[in-house]
């Protein structure tokens, strides 16, 4: 067999794997805060804002909350609010 052919097969195989792993998306997850009942953190939020808005709209239609509902992207900063309420400092 031609050595160039084997090299091309390897390059094409690596390229296909790169495309597969780079386009793989994780499912968006709605994580409800235990401390703030109407607050949801969205894990693996799509980068496309239109897709994110559609997901939130579908979530609201499916769950029909009775009060105002708040959505935030799940990050290391917002993760705190899963188990804790907002810290309010008293001002004099």
pLDDT in tens, 9-37: 777 777 776 666 555 567 889 999 999 98
**Distance of alpha carbon 38 from alpha carbon 22, whole angstroms:** 34
Greater pLDDT, 62 or 21: 62
Residue at 87 is within a domain: no
Quote the pLDDT of residue 12.
79
Residue at 30 is within a domain: yes
Residue at 7 is within a domain: no
Looking at the predicted structure, is the pLDDT value of residue 91 above 50?
Answer: no
Residue at 16 is within a domain: no
Report the DSSP pairing between strands 70-73 and 39-43. parallel
Q: What is the mean pLDDT of the chain?
A: 82
Mean pLDDT of 62-91: 83
Report the number of distinct structural domains present in the chain: 1
Q: Which domain holds residue 37?
A: 26-82
Q: How confident is the model at residue 90 (pLDDT cuts 50, 70, 90)?
A: very low
Residue at 47 is within a domain: yes
Q: Check: CB of residue 27 under 8 Å from CB of residue 74.
A: no
Residue at 56 is within a domain: yes
């Amino acid at each position: 067999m031609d050595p160039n052919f084997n090299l091309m097969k390897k390059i094409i195989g690596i390229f296909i794997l790169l495309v597969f792993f780079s386009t793989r998306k994780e499912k968006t997850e709605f994580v409800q805060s235990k401390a703030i009942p109407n607050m949801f953190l969205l894990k693996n939020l799509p980068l496309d804002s239109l897709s994110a808005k559609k997901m939130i709209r579908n979530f609201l239609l499916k769950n029909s909350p009775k009060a105002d509902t708040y959505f935030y992207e799940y990050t290391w900063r917002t993760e705190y609010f899963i188990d804790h309420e907002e810290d309010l400092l008293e001002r004099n």
